Amino acid sequence: MNCPDPGFSIHKSVFDGAVMLEVLEAFDRAELTRTRAGARHVLRVPAVRALASDPAMLQIAREYVGAQAFPFRATLFDKSVVSNWLVAWHQDTALPIQRQGDGSGWGPWSEKGGVLHAIAPATALGQVIALRVHLDDSTSENGPLRVLPGTHVNGVLSQSQIETLAATVPPVDCLVGRGGVVAMRPLTVHASSKSRGDQPRRVLHVEFTTTVHLDTGIELAVG
């Protein structure tokens, strides 16, 4: 699919391997509530906050959402032989919100990791960009991110619409070495397969926006 903005981009060698090892060591020391897939709300880890605020990260984020981009949420994904999973084609539509509001198009509401979340409308999701920092090499064998280019322009989709796109749009595997970054708009349809080898695939998923005020009475929870 030819699209001026395919909804994602790959940035190789943004950070060197030593920086990635420092972040991994910081995770080993941090007191985090781990899940099978990794850990939520890791922006409070100083090494993660420093990485998210690095000029190289901010430059990429600004290309998508504007000059005032700042990080508001970070998640660690930790796929390995011990913890291996498949993610079907989907969009990322839930955002952390400080308190429940009456904004049009928001909800249903839920709680994840002790933080209130809502399914957001396309207007709000269009103000967000995710930067996925690869703490390990992402290869064709260890369940890389796969995207359907250009699908973010269709708004929030039903599952049947997503399945139709998955059957018609050629996917792209986002393969990048340790220290590389993949930028992805939340509404870009994406998936990942199970790892087929013993190489881990740890990714720091950092989300950026330019304002916490996404709608009347709707304010992002940051952290």
For 80-137, how does the pLDDT look when each residue is reduced to its tens digit (9 = 90+)? 666 766 789 999 999 999 999 887 899 999 998 889 999 999 999 999 999 999 999 9
Q: What is the mean pLDDT of the chain?
A: 93
pLDDT at 38 (0 to 100): 82
Position with higher pLDDT, 101 vs 162: 162
Among 11, 8, 7, smallest CA distance to 179 is for 11
Quick check: 47 pLDDT over 60?
Answer: yes
pLDDT at 2 (0 to 100): 44
Predicted confidence (pLDDT) per residue in 21-45, tens digit: 999 999 999 988 877 778 999 999 9
Give the mean model confidence (pLDDT) for residues 152-170. Answer: 97
CB-count exposure of residue 152 (10 Å: 0-12, 13-18, 19+)? buried
pLDDT at 180 (0 to 100): 98
What is the distance between the alpha carbons of residues 154 and 220, in angstroms, rounded to a whole number? 24
Give the mean model confidence (pLDDT) for residues 5-16. Answer: 97
Instruction: Give the CA-trace dihedral at 135, 141, 146, 149, to 10 degrees.
Output: 100
pLDDT at 81 (0 to 100): 60
pLDDT at 80 (0 to 100): 66
pLDDT at 1 (0 to 100): 40
Position with higher pLDDT, 101 vs 156: 156
Domains of the chain (ranges; CATH) run 8-96+129-209 (2.60.120.620)
| Least-confidence region, from 89-93, 109-113, 168-172, 183-187 | 109-113
The pTM (predicted TM-score) of the whole model is 0.94
pLDDT at 101 (0 to 100): 82
